[in-house]
Amino acid sequence: MDRIGVGIVGAGTGGWASISHVPVVSALPDYELRAISTSRAESAAAAAEQYGVAAAFHRYEDLIAHPGVDLVVVAVKVPAHFDVITAALDAGKMVYSEWPLARNLAEATELAGRAERAGLRTVIGLQGRYAPEVRYARDLIGQGYIGDVLGTTMVGSGMVWGDKVHLRGNAYWFDAANGATPLASAATHALDALHSVLGDFASLSANLVSARTEATVVEDGGVVPFTVADQIAVAGTLAGGAAASVFYRGGTSRGNNFHWEINGADGDLVISSPAWGNMQVADLTLEGGRGEDSAVSKLAVPEQHTTDLPGGLTRQASGVAALYARFAADLRDGTRDTPGFAHALTRHREIDTVERASRTGARQELPGTP
User: Within a 13 Å sphere around the CA of 347, how many CA atoms are in the beta-carbon half?
Assistant: 28
* For the chain, percent of residues with pLDDT exceeding 70: 98
The predicted-structure confidence for 244-287, as pLDDT tens digits, reads as follows: 999 999 999 999 999 999 999 999 999 999 999 999 999 999 99
Supply the DSSP string of 45-97, one letter for each residue: HHHHHHHT-SEEESSHHHHHH-TT-SEEEE-S-GGGHHHHHHHHHHTT-EEEE
Q: Is 160 exposed, middle or buried (0-12, 13-18, 19+ CB in 10 A)?
A: buried
Supply the DSSP string of 327-350, one letter for each residue: HHHHHHHT---S--HHHHHHHHHH
Q: Look at residue 312 in the predicted model and tell me its pLDDT.
A: 84
Query: CATH 3.30.360.10 spans which residues of the chain?
Result: 128-307+348-360
Q: What is the mean pLDDT of residues 296-325?
A: 89
Q: Would the pLDDT of 216 be above 60?
A: yes
Q: pTM of the full predicted structure? A: 0.96
Q: How far apart are CA 312 and CA 293, in angstroms?
A: 36
Q: What is the mean pLDDT of residues 335-352?
A: 98
Q: How far apart are CA 33 and CA 25, in angstroms?
A: 6
Q: How far apart are CA 107 and CA 352, in angstroms?
A: 12
The predicted-structure confidence for 67-98, as pLDDT tens digits, reads as follows: 999 999 999 999 999 999 999 999 999 999 99
Query: CATH 3.40.50.720 spans which residues of the chain?
Result: 4-127+317-340
Q: Look at residue 310 in the predicted model and tell me its pLDDT.
A: 81
* Residue 38 DSSP code: -
Contact predicate 183/232, CB 8 Å: yes
Three-state SS for 321?
helix
Q: Look at residue 319 in the predicted model and tell me its pLDDT.
A: 93
The region that residue 38 occupies, defined by phi over 0 for left and psi between -120 and 50 for alpha, beta otherwise, is beta
Q: Look at residue 308 in the predicted model and tell me its pLDDT.
A: 67
Q: How far apart are CA 318 and CA 313, in angstroms?
A: 6
Q: Which residues pair with 156 in a beta bridge?
A: 248, 258
Cα first-last separation, the chain = 29
The domain over range 4-127+317-340 is classified in CATH as 3.40.50.1370: no
Q: What is the mean pLDDT of residues 121-145?
A: 97
Q: Is 46 exposed, middle or buried (0-12, 13-18, 19+ CB in 10 A)?
A: middle
Contact predicate 8/32, CB 8 Å: no
Q: CB atoms < 10 A from the CB of 194, how many? A: 23
The predicted-structure confidence for 21-48, as pLDDT tens digits, reads as follows: 999 999 999 999 999 999 999 999 999 9
Element (H, E) at 124: strand 122-125
Q: Is the dihedral of CA 175, 352, 100, 260 positive or negative?
A: positive
Q: Would the pLDDT of 137 be above 80?
A: yes
Q: Would the pLDDT of 309 be above 80?
A: no
pLDDT band at residue 368 under the 50/70/90 scheme: low
Q: Look at residue 1 in the predicted model and tell me its pLDDT.
A: 55
Q: Look at residue 112 in the predicted model and tell me its pLDDT.
A: 98
Contacts with 65 (C-beta within 8 Å, 6 or more apart), sequence order: 91
Q: Would the pLDDT of 369 be above 60?
A: no
Q: Look at residue 370 in the predicted model and tell me its pLDDT.
A: 40
Q: How far apart are CA 183 and CA 122, in angstroms?
A: 23
Q: CB atoms < 10 A from the CB of 150, how many? A: 15
Contact predicate 223/216, CB 8 Å: yes
Closest CA to 185 of 230, 238, 227: 230
Contacts with 339 (C-beta within 8 Å, 6 or more apart), sequence order: 123, 124, 126, 129, 192, 323
Three-state SS for 128?
helix
Q: How far apart are CA 103 and CA 80, in angstroms?
A: 9
Q: How far apart are CA 315 and CA 284, in angstroms?
A: 9
Q: Look at residue 311 in the predicted model and tell me its pLDDT.
A: 81
The domain over range 128-307+348-360 is classified in CATH as 3.30.360.10: yes
Alpha-helix runs per DSSP H in the chain = 16-19, 21-27, 41-51, 60-65, 81-90, 105-118, 132-142, 188-198, 315-333, 341-360
* For the chain, percent of residues with pLDDT exceeding 90: 94
pLDDT band at residue 14 under the 50/70/90 scheme: confident
